Amino acid sequence: MKIFKKFAQIITFTIISLWVLLPVFLITVSTFSSKQEVYKWPKNLLPKDFSLESIKFFFSSYGTISSFKNSLIVAFITLILVLFISIPSAYAFSRYYFKGRESLKIFILMTRMLPIPLLAVPLTSFYITLSLYDNLLGVALIHTAMALPFSIIILSGIFIRISKEYEEAAIVFGASKLKAFLKILLPLSLPGIAAMLIFTFITSWNEVFAASILTVENRTLSAHILNLLDASPLYFKYAGGFFLSVPAIIFIFFIRNYLMKMWGGF
Amino acid sequence: MSKKGVVLLNIEKSFGGNKVLKNLSLEVKSGEFLVLLGPSGCGKTTTLRCIAGLEKVDKGKIFIGDRDVTELPPSKRNISMVFQNYAVFPHMKVYNNIAFGLKMRKFPRQEIDKKIKEVSKLLKIDNLLDRFPSQLSGGQKQRVAVARALAVDPDVLLMDEPLSNLDALLRAEMRTELKKLHRDLGTTTVYVTHDQIEALSLGDRIAVMFDGEIVQISNPKEIYEFPSTIKVGEFIGIPSMNFLKARYENGEIFIGNQKFELSDKIRNEIERKKLKEFIIGIRAENIEIYANKCRGSLCSKILLKEELGYTQLLTLKIEDFTIKAFSKAEIGLGIDNYVYIKFREDKIRFFDCNTRKLIF
């Protein structure tokens, strides 16, 4: 019975892993294959003739480099905004008791209940009146709004786990509240903050819908690829998919320990 | 070492609707080691945090030396504190932990270095300065916390159950060491604990707290021998003080149906105070146990016998009361047998039935 259970476990995990990893693997293989290879069937498990042709084509096609740059700029602005908003609010949630704290927490999460497609039309007209339409700052703002709820909740979870005694000790030994925060709480929560920022980066990097409806010229990479999807050859799609998914996978690989600690280690 | 006393005047503090400190006044003399002792939730830690400035008092005043610090933040009070869970900063090496207070006070670098060498030698951690707290044992962390507290030359040193996280052996060792440290340095110290042994062995004076009030403040010997209320007598000492209800009738004292013979001196005192019913308090080591009936003894039944190695602890039933007594010599009698007991007269305390306070 025990062996059967173990066996079932292995099968389940294998299926789940394959389901997640196989597409990524195929995308990667196809990206590094030659153009002709991409159309062949059956697929090879390893690129037969390793080539950077697809990647070269992808980057030389019109708009790719600039959208790549746009994606980086949007992600960077989003990171800065999230950093400066989520740290103080997470601090307040974790260190102070105030009226309506719990409802406010839920309210913050509720902002994620509304799907972006539902908001598309009002958001676009609103952005046009604010002249944020087709503007990278505008995209960064909507990405910030999308990433903030989770960032705040994650970060206040991290702050709560760090004993208040440390800050109190710092204060007793002559530090101001701000200094206690900067010298004690901030360095102690640095791994968590880093993980939160990477989560934010991926949110922004991969977000496609809002970026697509809010931009025309200044496309981010994801919006750019989506826009060209119907009109582009297969190897372009593969290279695009590769550059969209790989940063996320690399980041998650590096921060998975922190993520485990944050969500599993309470 | 600077020495300053602490005065708390009519302190009140509530959390929500819960009154934690009720009009509390306390004076800690300069250079004194004062222990705040009480069960958990009695407000002793809150009192300490009010002195530190980590909690703001609702009412009352706090003085350190002759300075009114009631409205000052912790950083301006020149106090230092040892926390229950050490609160040694995990991301700093031992050296920087001890240096923290000095750096905040903007001491020059050489002076910080000198000071750290001094206190780390004092606490025998001079070989650990280069380590991170995660590489230290609990006892070592405790030493770092104490060193950090002493490095800043505080007017008052506050300790919040500093030994409660150590194992029994280490706790006894650290206790001795803290005592020696205080004797050598003479820093005014306020020490919070719920452990009466710590309190009795460390304190110059002990303030016993129940429900946000100080019920007795005195030296350890006095607190042990003359508890001001029945509750204090129950709380302090292992085992607790024994209490038996007695009455005075026709010039004689009775416990239940047994006549309890006492000297004229005590009888006169009872007569003079016009006591009818009262409670007798006696500690376990002040009860003498005999196998045979003798003059002035009370008859009681053995309920339980506990071997403690150096002595035996007997649980006895006398009339309706259960008491505990140490028997110095081995008594050949087992459970359910009857023994005869006498109380050492100079150790008997009398308490009021209603107020439950010490009469004499």
- pLDDT averaged per 10 residues in sequence order, chain A, 266 residues: 89 92 86 80 73 84 88 94 95 91 88 84 91 92 92 90 92 92 91 84 89 89 86 85 80 68 46
**Contact A174/B101, CB-based, under 8 Å?**
yes
CA dihedral B108, B112, B115, B116 (to 10 degrees): 180
Asked if residue B314 lies in contact with residue B324, where contact means CB atoms within 8 angstroms, the answer is yes
**Contact B54/A168, CB-based, under 8 Å?**
yes
Is the pLDDT score of B148 beyond 90? Answer: yes
Task: Tell me what the mean pLDDT of segment B170-179 comes to.
Answer: 92
Contacts of B269 (CB under 8 A, 6+ apart): B360
Among all chains, which residue has been given the structure tokens 């697809």? A54
Chain A residues touching B52 at Cβ < 8 A: 172
Q: What is the mean pLDDT of chain B?
A: 92
CA dihedral A202, A203, A208, A214 (to 10 degrees): -120
Q: How far apart are CA B162 and CA B351, in angstroms?
A: 35
Asked if residue B229 lies in contact with residue B290, where contact means CB atoms within 8 angstroms, the answer is no
Q: What is the pLDDT, as a whole number, of residue A262?
A: 52
Burial letters for B316-331: b for 16+ Cβ neighbours within 10 Å, e otherwise? Answer: bebeebebbbbbeeeb
Q: How far apart are CA B217 and CA B205, in angstroms?
A: 7
Query: B242-352 architecture in CATH?
Result: Beta Barrel (2.40)
Task: Tell me what the mean pLDDT of segment B56-72 comes to.
Answer: 93
User: Chain A contact for B72, CB < 8 A?
Assistant: no
Q: φ and ψ at B358, to 5 degrees?
A: -65, 130
Q: How far apart are CA A123 and CA A136, in angstroms?
A: 15
Asked if residue B61 lies in contact with residue B50, where contact means CB atoms within 8 angstroms, the answer is no
* Distance linking the first and last C-alpha atoms of chain A: 33
Domain extents for chain B? Answer: 6-235, 242-352
Asked if residue B6 lies in contact with residue B62, where contact means CB atoms within 8 angstroms, the answer is yes
Q: What is the pLDDT, as a whole number, of residue A264?
A: 44
CA dihedral B269, B270, B272, B276 (to 10 degrees): 170
Q: Which residue has the higher pLDDT, A192 or B72?
A: B72
Give, for B278, the enclosing helix (H) or strand (E).
Answer: strand B277-282
By Cβ distance, the residue of B52, B85, B104 closest to A174 is B104
Tokens of B297: 């003894």
Can you say whether residue B274 is alpha, beta or left, with left for phi > 0 and alpha for psi between -120 and 50 degrees? left
User: Chain B contact for A176, CB < 8 A?
Assistant: yes
Q: What is the pLDDT, as a whole number, of residue A250?
A: 77
By Cβ distance, the residue of A169, A176, A184 closest to B81 is A169
- Dihedral sign from CA coordinates of B282, B291, B302, B278: negative
Q: Which residue of A has its CA nearest to B97?
A: A170
User: Chain B contact for A164, CB < 8 A?
Assistant: no
CA dihedral B141, B144, B148, B149 (to 10 degrees): 70
Chain A residues touching B87 at Cβ < 8 A: 163, 165-166, 168-169
Half-sphere exposure of A178 (CA within 13 A, CB side): 0
* Distance linking the first and last C-alpha atoms of chain B: 41
Q: List, in order of start, the domains of chain A with CATH numbers.
A: 1-51 (no CATH), 62-264 (1.10.3720.10)
Tokens of B133: 């707290």
Checking DSSP bridges between strand B205-210 and strand B321-327, what pairing results, if any? unpaired
Cα distances (Å, whole numbers) of residue A111 to A16, A106, A133: 31, 9, 21
Among all chains, which residue has been given the structure tokens 């050859």? A233
**Contact A174/B81, CB-based, under 8 Å?**
no
Contacts of A175 (CB under 8 A, 6+ apart): A183, A184, B75, B100, B104
Kindly list the strands in the beta sheet with B79-82, ordered across the sheet, starting from the edge strand earlier in the chain.
B79-82, B156-160, B188-193, B33-37, B205-210, B213-218
For B66, counting Cβ atoms within 10 Å of its Cβ (0-12 exposed, 13-18 middle, 19+ buried), the class is exposed
**Contact A173/B101, CB-based, under 8 Å?**
yes
Q: Which residue of B has its CA nearest to A165?
A: B87
Q: φ and ψ at A44, to 5 degrees?
A: -90, 150
- The alpha-carbon gap from A169 to the nearest alpha carbon of chain B, in Å, equals 7
Q: In chain B, which ranges are continuous DSSP H helix?
A: 44-52, 94-104, 109-122, 138-151, 168-185, 196-202, 220-225, 230-235, 264-272
Tell me which DSSP letter residue B298 carries: E
Q: What is the pLDDT, as a whole number, of residue A38?
A: 76
User: Chain A contact for B81, CB < 8 A?
Assistant: yes
pTM above 0.90, yes or no: no
Task: Tell me what the mean pLDDT of segment B117-142 comes to.
Answer: 92
Chain B residues touching A172 at Cβ < 8 A: 52-54, 74-75, 79-81
**Contact A163/B84, CB-based, under 8 Å?**
no
Amino acid at B81: M
**Contact A170/B81, CB-based, under 8 Å?**
no
Q: What is the pLDDT, as a whole number, of residue A265?
A: 40
- The alpha-carbon gap from B88 to the nearest alpha carbon of chain A, in Å, equals 7
Tell me which DSSP letter residue B240 carries: P
User: Chain A contact for B101, CB < 8 A?
Assistant: yes
Asked if residue A167 lies in contact with residue B90, where contact means CB atoms within 8 angstroms, the answer is no
Asked if residue B282 lies in contact with residue B349, where contact means CB atoms within 8 angstroms, the answer is yes
Tell me which DSSP letter residue A184 carries: I
**Contact A172/B79, CB-based, under 8 Å?**
yes
Interchain CB contacts (distance < 8 Å): A and B: 55
Q: How far apart are CA A242 and CA A23, in angstroms?
A: 10
CATH number of the domain located at residue range(s) B6-235 in this protein: 3.40.50.300
Chain B residues touching A165 at Cβ < 8 A: 83-85, 87
By Cβ distance, the residue of A172, A175, A176 closest to B52 is A172
Q: Which of A137-146, B139-148, B263-272 has the lowest mean pLDDT?
A: B263-272
Q: What is the pLDDT, as a whole number, of residue A239?
A: 87
User: Chain B contact for A163, CB < 8 A?
Assistant: yes
Task: Tell me what the mean pLDDT of segment B102-113 comes to.
Answer: 94
Asked if residue B94 lies in contact with residue B144, where contact means CB atoms within 8 angstroms, the answer is yes
Is the pLDDT score of B255 beyond 80? Answer: yes
pLDDT band for position B110 (cuts 50, 70, 90): very high
Kindly list the strands in the beta sheet with B277-282, ordered across the sheet, starting from the edge strand earlier in the chain.
B258-260, B252-255, B242-249, B277-282, B349-352
Contacts of B104 (CB under 8 A, 6+ apart): A170, A173, A174, A175, A179, B75
Tell me which DSSP letter residue A183 carries: I
Closest CA to A191 of A259, A94, A264: A259
